[in-house]
Amino acid sequence: MQVLARAFDRGHHYELCDAGADYVISETYDSALNLGAESLVRLGVHPFKAEQIKQGFIPILFLNYGLRSYFDRLVQR
Protein backbone atom coordinates (compact mmCIF):
# COMPACT_ATOMS: atom_id res chain seq x y z
CA MET A 1 0.00 0.00 0.00
CA GLN A 2 1.25 3.48 -0.85
CA VAL A 3 0.68 6.49 1.40
CA LEU A 4 -0.10 9.86 -0.22
CA ALA A 5 -0.37 12.80 2.18
CA ARG A 6 -0.77 16.57 2.45
CA ALA A 7 1.38 18.47 4.91
CA PHE A 8 0.18 21.66 6.59
CA ASP A 9 3.70 23.07 7.06
CA ARG A 10 7.37 22.21 6.44
CA GLY A 11 7.83 20.42 9.77
CA HIS A 12 4.77 18.30 9.16
CA HIS A 13 6.16 17.50 5.69
CA TYR A 14 9.32 16.07 7.24
CA GLU A 15 7.31 14.13 9.83
CA LEU A 16 5.23 12.50 7.10
CA CYS A 17 8.35 11.59 5.10
CA ASP A 18 10.02 10.16 8.20
CA ALA A 19 6.86 8.16 8.93
CA GLY A 20 7.14 6.51 5.51
CA ALA A 21 4.78 8.46 3.28
CA ASP A 22 5.46 7.69 -0.38
CA TYR A 23 4.23 11.06 -1.69
CA VAL A 24 3.95 14.27 0.35
CA ILE A 25 2.75 17.67 -0.89
CA SER A 26 2.12 20.99 0.86
CA GLU A 27 -1.52 21.75 1.63
CA THR A 28 -3.07 24.26 -0.76
CA TYR A 29 -5.96 24.16 -3.22
CA ASP A 30 -3.47 23.38 -5.97
CA SER A 31 -1.88 20.62 -3.94
CA ALA A 32 -5.29 19.08 -3.28
CA LEU A 33 -5.86 18.92 -7.03
CA ASN A 34 -2.40 17.50 -7.65
CA LEU A 35 -2.75 14.91 -4.89
CA GLY A 36 -6.12 13.85 -6.27
CA ALA A 37 -4.68 13.45 -9.75
CA GLU A 38 -1.67 11.54 -8.44
CA SER A 39 -3.98 9.27 -6.46
CA LEU A 40 -6.00 8.52 -9.59
CA VAL A 41 -2.85 7.66 -11.54
CA ARG A 42 -1.62 5.34 -8.80
CA LEU A 43 -5.03 3.66 -8.79
CA GLY A 44 -4.63 2.91 -12.49
CA VAL A 45 -6.24 5.87 -14.24
CA HIS A 46 -4.31 6.98 -17.34
CA PRO A 47 -2.28 10.15 -16.53
CA PHE A 48 -3.97 12.14 -19.33
CA LYS A 49 -7.43 11.27 -17.98
CA ALA A 50 -6.36 12.17 -14.43
CA GLU A 51 -5.13 15.55 -15.70
CA GLN A 52 -8.44 16.14 -17.49
CA ILE A 53 -10.33 15.41 -14.28
CA LYS A 54 -8.04 17.75 -12.33
CA GLN A 55 -8.47 20.54 -14.88
CA GLY A 56 -12.24 20.23 -14.50
CA PHE A 57 -11.96 21.52 -10.93
CA ILE A 58 -9.98 24.66 -11.75
CA PRO A 59 -13.01 26.69 -12.93
CA ILE A 60 -14.64 25.92 -9.59
CA LEU A 61 -11.82 27.78 -7.83
CA PHE A 62 -12.43 30.94 -9.83
CA LEU A 63 -16.22 30.77 -9.59
CA ASN A 64 -16.28 30.04 -5.85
CA TYR A 65 -14.04 32.99 -5.02
CA GLY A 66 -15.90 35.59 -7.06
CA LEU A 67 -13.38 35.68 -9.87
CA ARG A 68 -15.86 35.06 -12.67
CA SER A 69 -14.69 38.01 -14.81
CA TYR A 70 -11.04 36.90 -14.47
CA PHE A 71 -11.99 33.33 -15.44
CA ASP A 72 -13.96 34.59 -18.46
CA ARG A 73 -10.90 36.55 -19.65
CA LEU A 74 -8.70 33.46 -19.32
CA VAL A 75 -11.14 31.34 -21.31
CA GLN A 76 -11.37 33.90 -24.10
CA ARG A 77 -7.61 33.88 -24.76
What was the pLDDT predicted at 27?
76
* Whole-angstrom distance, CA of residue 36 vs CA of residue 50: 8
pLDDT for the residue 3: 92
3-state helix, strand, coil in the chain (%, to 5): 65, 10, 25
Dihedral angle over CA of 46, 52, 53, 56, nearest 10? 180
- The rounded average pLDDT for each run of 10 residues, N- to C-terminus, in the chain (77 residues) is 88 91 82 89 94 80 58 56
